[in-house]
Chains A and B, each alone.
Chain A
């Protein structure tokens, strides 16, 4: 019923273990998903590899050119990080809405991504940042766009011997507004019914949209970019009819399901509405508002 527990003291040791143990090994970061899944018997790993000792190498946010977020950076770190507050406001908002503080204190960005829950809060904001993942095994490192990482519900392009070490994305342009909107039944301790991240870049007169990115979670097996809706916003001044149309295009990109939390119909309806609300927030924030 149990597993063998390993706590490697360096990234290299961890990669060695992953390489030799292969698919029978489960990586444990914060544990807020893995332990729940273990208790519910959704997973039964032979080996558990705990990465807590790798904090020094894999935790934290840096900005040497691109923004780099170590895979063991916790939600609480993200929610309070001054660099991210400017560069990825949506990520900060998303992290602050994961569970409660006790979950945020241990749950990590790497775990949130690799667990590949359809409802995970962080991926939409990373998708609108065109984030790439640094995946390492004992032979080397590769980068993979986040958008190519998710293969379905709880399925990813990570190979068993690989470990996610960092997430990278570019700094924002001037006149950018970003937001993450989460709809749930409560204001905390929620799994999203729908989450939407948006990033809009405006011209210097703050009128015309130069670039638009929209990503949605909990409305398909994996979080996704609503590319048609994005294209509809570019070059516009976010007129009502444009937003309504973009809303419909975002819905068209979704494939939500009925579940205990909400119906597919409700999810579609709020995706449509959230586009306008998110766009307004982006415009406000791009102009320096809150």
Chain B
């Protein structure tokens, strides 16, 4: 039952029919189509839905629409007139205050409310005012700076514009091309889409972790008026799918293997009916024993999570055994003998926990089927081409019958690489013949998405008394959950990370992915890295203390440099590690650090990869000289595409970035890309775009050469004009060429396809490795200073400095933004975030008790970079996206150890855990 209310929305008196229990957020988004107000959690915890009611910031998900009758509501759409921007929006654009953009409208609204009440806030006041707005990309620094800058301009000052004309765009900080879409809320994310005739999907999930399904009855749900389809394993093709091992199913048929596993899905005419229908599905279970963690899964006589595991199709390199779904190994030299020769041998075990990527936009999308049976999925995926392959398998359709395109992606961090909502909506659309939209609830995100897996890391290291490491053996057991998923490849990464960034002649490095009754883990930024490095770099500090060597000196003695070998025998080049270490320790003042009790400094260093995979691009010359880029790559907020690749293209074509248009991430409309994963976009897509631009330019030059009867080599492209070298003002402009070719020679399109030269490694060293070598390795060193409260155990990071060797920084502020955001996620991982499992059940499936850092919890991360060049990255660039999240666990554990004298070998370093360790240890003499 609905009733009308009248309210003022963005200055306009608005009459709208509402249900009594409908939220203001729902009214704005679904009834008034004001989707600039974003939805992140629907529980008042993320702030994405912040709007102003009578000038005050509120979370519109917790405001009943009925209560705003007669009031003034201002949304992001109402801040400025058409085509205009509010000073806060302008400041966010100029100040790099937006990355993925999902938090941006809410953040802007909080800022507008703050500045109305307090026109010149301090930094602390800004942080307090936006503490209710979670951001997962930026680390908050640029947001705070943008708000402070806006305060300056709104008080009558002027903003400094730093984008002065430079000789080259490469190495210049630029404004990303999609910034305006994001600060205005106009960018459409998965759940913002509304399609005519659309139904609403909802998934029915298991409520116990491991059981046989004795009876499943969906008849009451099907009978509910408004329900258009209820599908189960009986209604979908009986296929198993997956990456390295095809062990997964869309719906559990006779057995559920984790709490939250999908059993059925509903499509209905409203979200409310879909939710009600799910509540009418009846299922009876015969519970089975629960394997909650690695130890239980590996115990003698443990039941098998997949009794039929031997029947599954797998990647040929995969080594499996029962509950071990992947065993990756690198062996070089002879560790056992070397341990015998070592002066000291250390062995320690570390434990880490499961965490969520924490993207603010839940997995979401719309699917529809055209009259010929072709399925289109439009979702916030990071990886449309991979998704198309998976969907084709699930739907049993050829690739030309499946189209996937990405919407704006409200944070992914690896959590939106694989099938999320897409298989459900595609199947429901096929079943009903109508478009179907599905937005995961926050609870589903926490129980059934693709979290970073918990792990147990054992590190055994043989060293000489002078600190030289001669042997290293690691065993990293990853809690993969109920299906292999990405864990099979991540086991390889865990092996590759085992040696740390050190020169070690004898290594025996193992990564295991282990089936348990948890939801299958996935690829969260730097997958396998944070777990392994927590063990490896914590142990470095333990060894340093035992040998009486400063942790920094121990590292400097052992780090790799140019010409050294990586663990699987690759010869390393362009190694910027020592430079990164020196940059970090100098900035933080490591040698002169404050040694008072309760204060401590810790550091860690490591390496990472720049993933390869095919990238491709077309570049077209428009008739007015503007340039179009068409690529299957996906922008997920990093700016790799909307800033970095665009810069490379603009540089190659000699045009300003404002002359570009980018068409991206559509499996039918754009050429292939391996997806926004593995820190690969700038490197690979940048290379493809560069090749396409060069191809386009070659055709342009040939055309002009032909027109002027000269050699193409005698021409140059300067400021949009192709002219004989040294003869400015002659020749033809890009616009003239673009127009002329329509009727002479034909329209010009450049084509670029890039696949990096495979990194060489010693094949005899690797066993069961799906990912045997790090392509174009990157290096980094982080350090932090912390204060530990000896009464509560609370750890407060006071400073955090991170230096990355990025090869070449194409967009320096973009690089720094990646670093700050990754570090902030790392701080959350190290100190506060944890998906808590008890008996296979998630105890905190919400953002109230899953604690992501707010603006008040993190310091201004000091992001630095060094540039050691690369083998074949564009302009010497390497990957940037992932590694900044990797070291924080070790960095902060090392800092806490120095502050307290207590070594904690388990994450997260919660106040309770730290205080417990303090209580059980003898206080160090200070």
Question: Using a CB–CB distance below 8 Å, which chain A residues touch chain B?
Answer: 1-5, 7, 28, 31-32, 35-36, 38-39, 48, 50, 52, 76, 96, 99-103, 105-106, 183, 185-189, 191, 260-263, 266, 269-270, 273-274, 276-277
- Determine if A260 and B132 form an interchain contact, defined as CB atoms under 8 angstroms apart: no
For A4, A5, A7, A102, the residue with the greatest tally of chain B CB atoms inside 10 Å of its CB is A102
With a CB–CB cut-off of 8 A, which chain B residues contact A32? 44, 62
- Determine if B67 and A260 form an interchain contact, defined as CB atoms under 8 angstroms apart: no
With a CB–CB cut-off of 8 A, which chain B residues contact A183? 792, 794, 911
A189 and chain B: residue at smallest CB distance: B854
Complex Cα distance, B64 from A38, in Å, reads 11
Stretch from B77-85, B469-477, B524-532, B842-850 at the A interface: B842-850
With a CB–CB cut-off of 8 A, which chain B residues contact A274? 791
- Determine if A100 and B132 form an interchain contact, defined as CB atoms under 8 angstroms apart: yes
Complex Cα distance, B640 from A60, in Å, reads 51
A246: min CB distance to chain B, Å: 15
Complex Cα distance, B23 from A28, in Å, reads 14
B61 and chain A: residue at smallest CB distance: A35
With a CB–CB cut-off of 8 A, which chain A residues contact B64? 5, 28, 31, 35, 48, 50
| CB-defined A-B contacts under 8 Å, sample of 28 | A1-B21, A1-B276, A2-B19, A3-B20, A5-B21, A5-B64, A31-B63, A35-B23, A35-B62, A35-B64, A38-B21, A99-B44, A100-B130, A100-B133, A101-B113, A102-B47, A103-B59, A105-B57, A106-B56, A185-B851, A185-B911, A188-B854, A189-B131, A189-B132, A266-B911, A270-B791, A274-B791, A277-B791
Complex Cα distance, B912 from A269, in Å, reads 10
Assuming A28-B67, A103-B44, is B272 touching A1 (CB within 8 A)? yes
Digit string of B39-67 for contact with A (CB within 8 Å is 1, else 0)?
00011110100100000111100111011
With a CB–CB cut-off of 8 A, which chain B residues contact A263? 912
B1 within 8 A of A: yes
Complex Cα distance, B846 from A39, in Å, reads 13
Complex Cα distance, B792 from A96, in Å, reads 21
Complex Cα distance, B28 from A24, in Å, reads 30
- Determine if A266 and B843 form an interchain contact, defined as CB atoms under 8 angstroms apart: no
- Determine if B844 and A7 form an interchain contact, defined as CB atoms under 8 angstroms apart: no
B856 within 8 A of A: yes
For chain B, residues 833 to 857, give those with C-beta under 8 angstroms from any C-beta of chain A.
836, 843-844, 848-849, 851, 853-857
- Determine if B67 and A31 form an interchain contact, defined as CB atoms under 8 angstroms apart: yes
- Determine if A100 and B854 form an interchain contact, defined as CB atoms under 8 angstroms apart: yes
User: How many B residues touch A, CB cutoff 8 Å?
Assistant: 55
Assuming A187-B857, A260-B843, is B67 touching A50 (CB within 8 A)? yes
B20 and chain A: residue at smallest CB distance: A5
B69 within 8 A of A: yes
- Determine if B916 and A50 form an interchain contact, defined as CB atoms under 8 angstroms apart: no
B832 within 8 A of A: yes
B280: min CB distance to chain A, Å: 13
With a CB–CB cut-off of 8 A, which chain A residues contact B133? 100
With a CB–CB cut-off of 8 A, which chain A residues contact B848? 191
Task: List 16 extra interface pairs beyond A3-B20, A183-B794, A188-B132, CB under 8 A.
Answer: A1-B272, A28-B64, A36-B62, A48-B20, A50-B64, A100-B133, A102-B57, A103-B62, A105-B56, A106-B56, A186-B856, A266-B915, A269-B915, A270-B915, A276-B791, A277-B791
Complex Cα distance, B180 from A61, in Å, reads 43
B217 within 8 A of A: no
Digit string of B847-881 for contact with A (CB within 8 Å is 1, else 0)?
01101011111000000000000000000000000
For B276, B831, B855, B856, the residue with the greatest tally of chain A CB atoms inside 10 Å of its CB is B856
With a CB–CB cut-off of 8 A, which chain B residues contact A5? 3, 20-21, 64, 66
A1: min CB distance to chain B, Å: 7
With a CB–CB cut-off of 8 A, which chain A residues contact B843? 260
Question: Using a CB–CB distance below 8 Å, which chain B residues touch chain A?
Answer: 1, 3, 19-21, 23, 42-45, 47, 50, 56-59, 62-64, 66-67, 69, 110, 113-114, 128-133, 272, 276, 791-792, 794, 831-832, 836, 843-844, 848-849, 851, 853-857, 910-912, 915-916, 919
A38 and chain B: residue at smallest CB distance: B21
Assuming A3-B21, A50-B67, is B276 touching A39 (CB within 8 A)? no
With a CB–CB cut-off of 8 A, which chain A residues contact B47? 100, 102
A198: min CB distance to chain B, Å: 15
With a CB–CB cut-off of 8 A, which chain A residues contact B855? 188
Complex Cα distance, B69 from A276, in Å, reads 49
B908: min CB distance to chain A, Å: 9
Complex Cα distance, B585 from A280, in Å, reads 37
With a CB–CB cut-off of 8 A, which chain A residues contact B62? 31-32, 35-36, 103, 106
- Determine if B58 and A7 form an interchain contact, defined as CB atoms under 8 angstroms apart: no
A276 and chain B: residue at smallest CB distance: B791
Complex Cα distance, B133 from A261, in Å, reads 21
Complex Cα distance, B46 from A189, in Å, reads 9
- Determine if A101 and B832 form an interchain contact, defined as CB atoms under 8 angstroms apart: no
A106 and chain B: residue at smallest CB distance: B58
- Determine if B276 and A260 form an interchain contact, defined as CB atoms under 8 angstroms apart: no
- Determine if B131 and A187 form an interchain contact, defined as CB atoms under 8 angstroms apart: yes
- Determine if A7 and B791 form an interchain contact, defined as CB atoms under 8 angstroms apart: no
- Determine if A188 and B915 form an interchain contact, defined as CB atoms under 8 angstroms apart: no
A34: min CB distance to chain B, Å: 9
